[in-house]
Structure 1
């Protein structure tokens, strides 16, 4: 039996996605976003959103607690840097594994309910984790100060290999290559590419089709004899592992883990990323992550003086009017711009930005077709 989606199509899509990701320093230049720290965040939160989409986009289960796995991944990575090695490989593997086990425990309980009850359960678990990390488990998390990598940490594996665990400046590395600047971005980009291809294969697989069936009508599937709970649990665990990977990469580029990464606002942010880009699509969550992080880092930095310079080509009176209208939407008011954009997408493009791109592509194909037929 021939597969519904040939692997060559998946490979081609992955190659095109890889080209787009690895050329980010070029095509982001005109938008003022081609600096390493921001591109790292594009890649990391793209992984977070792609993983969340495996649960929400494919099964329809809306989790408001995925920030818990992001935080667990960060803490696990920092402890790996402190106890084992500054090498990122054991840190990433440990973060993915611990986040997966954590997701298994939370998912086993939360998936006994569905709909709004499932969402509230996940939110409750995330807030419990946040409060534990912030106040109760301070010997492990260092509370509100956050967990940091120190010069005199034991680092057993590094001590075995080099004979000493002390370093002048403790920085994460990949077999001696420090994860800073563009090197950190390339590492995050490779992880994003791998995460995207795995999500692509999951979506195309019979398992992915089963998840789509659950989203379409879970009750009917139960009636015809399918036990859907193991499938939703696996999707929840895989999604949590993606969040753990994103949390590990946050610690890789900045060896610090804090309880704020577990707040409910972080969980809400990944929901916005997925819906804004297009839930259930492959590229949508990444687009949503890029857009939100762009607003958060670029729009929030715009000031009235910047706007006056940008609209300097206008007459003085018109420039003052335009700046007065635009200024509430930038700087500290960037959330207002994001809120307006989110409302427009939900009202006019329920399928997210990817639906808008599809409509544009269909219009262009239709227009070219009519032009050819008229000639």
Structure 2
């Protein structure tokens, strides 16, 4: 069991350094991701949005140990709420985000209140059942609200009452989401999502360092022992569940900036499973791990999946002609349409050898380097020591 000092080995100065380094890394992502072909705005936005989704899921799963297979429901709810704001009131993303987060919070309160009556696998199955119920309702019964399988999209005749009241002219075509008149497209949209990600990370950091976060860790460590002391963990679990759902709603709201539509597929169980993979792959219960997992999975999904036979043949053109085709045939099993196989192998290796995720691997490597340097330093001191004169 992790000790409190191990879990919270921080200070205001250390946290400030973490925030500065994180903010610089996020804001300069178009530069340092360019060599690996991941510097275009749409993919950068996905990194930021799914990073927020994973951060929120980590507050629930990483701190409390409660595994939810239904968090995509809140992602979809946030998207639907944001699009309705775009249709009825304004294209300003601020109001859409606020409404998406609030609606997701309301749904999270209801779902969490019911599901948290159980724990373990029963909790996971309950959340999955709710998510699938919302998914099917969005496809059928709630078609007037969700537009069914066609997805909820913008239309030229949408009222957009607030924009009309202030005389905002969107032109002849469909309007784009904006921030107080600044159109959010391309890198402008990415930097907006990046700033929201930085704020979301700061909130997550504060939760991790707070007494509330330590209570969640205690619940994860030994809930029965806490019950014996008269401590009721349910309110804390519900708050964690709601905060996690709000993060998902925030991510769903931001998704409509990239693509102003909301479809039921965002609520499907596969989307919930994806955020579970992100968190476990990077390292559940760590600050950076879920972001790392989200980035890797989205990179595989968008870059590896795009590699085709001709590109591989060009990449391996330095080989003798007799070897190019066999090598390309083997490699193509792991990229393009086979990118899931590569991800599956990576996930399997992490689970077997790094149960704490990739962050555990980074910690082991750092500890090894420190030990190596310490050993080299001791040898240098011992070797350079002068003997007393006889």
Q: Could you say what secondary structure the match of 2:137 adopts? A: helix
Tell me the matched-pair count. 373
Structure 1 CA distance, aligned partners of 2:115 and 2:295? Answer: 30
Partner of 1:181: 186
Q: Could you say what secondary structure the match of 1:65 adopts? A: coil
Partner of 2:383: none
Superimposed CA distance per residue, residues 272-305 of structure 1 (whole angstroms, 9 cap, x where no aligned partner): 0000000000000000000000000001011111
Superimposed CA distance per residue, residues 144-197 of structure 1 (whole angstroms, 9 cap, x where no aligned partner): 000011122111111111166775331100011111100010011001000000
Superposed counterparts of 1:165-314, under 5 Å: 168-314=173-319
Partner of 2:4: none
Partner of 1:152: 157
Partner of 2:167: 162
Find 2:119's aligned residue among 105, 109, 114.
114
Structure 1 CA distance, aligned partners of 2:298 and 2:91? Answer: 28
Partner of 1:95: 100
Superimposed CA distance per residue, residues 337-366 of structure 1 (whole angstroms, 9 cap, x where no aligned partner): 000000000000101011111111111111
Superimposed CA distance per residue, residues 307-341 of structure 1 (whole angstroms, 9 cap, x where no aligned partner): 11111111122322321221111111110000000
Q: Could you say what secondary structure the match of 1:329 adopts? A: coil
Partner of 1:129: 134
Partner of 2:384: none
CA contact (8 A) 2:154 2:174 kept: no
Structure 2 CA distance, aligned partners of 1:157 and 1:7? Answer: 42
1:78 aligns with 2:83: yes
Structure 2 CA distance, aligned partners of 1:163 and 1:37? Answer: 26
Partner of 2:356: 351
1:59 aligns with 2:58: no
Q: Could you say what secondary structure the match of 2:175 adopts? A: coil
How far off is 1:267 after superposition?
A: 0.1
Superimposed CA distance per residue, residues 232-280 of structure 1 (whole angstroms, 9 cap, x where no aligned partner): 0000000000000000000122110000000000000000000000000
Structure 1 CA distance, aligned partners of 2:172 and 2:66? Answer: 45
1:26 aligns with 2:64: no
Q: Could you say what secondary structure the match of 1:328 adopts? A: coil
Structure 1 CA distance, aligned partners of 2:249 and 2:34? Answer: 30
Structure 1 CA distance, aligned partners of 2:112 and 2:316? Answer: 51
Partner of 1:365: 370
Structure of higher CA gyration radius: 2
Considering only aligned residues, what root-mean-square deviation do their CA atoms show, in Å?
Answer: 1.2
TM-score (norm 2): 0.94
Structure 2 CA distance, aligned partners of 1:187 and 1:98? Answer: 22
Deviates more, 1:363-372 or 1:34-43: 363-372
CA contact (8 A) 1:152 1:166 kept: no
Structure 1 CA distance, aligned partners of 2:34 and 2:266? Answer: 29
Structure 1 CA distance, aligned partners of 2:231 and 2:172? Answer: 55
Gap runs ≥5 in structure 1: none
CA contact (8 A) 1:275 1:288 kept: yes
Deviates more, 1:165-174 or 1:142-151: 165-174
Structure 1 CA distance, aligned partners of 2:342 and 2:318? Answer: 24
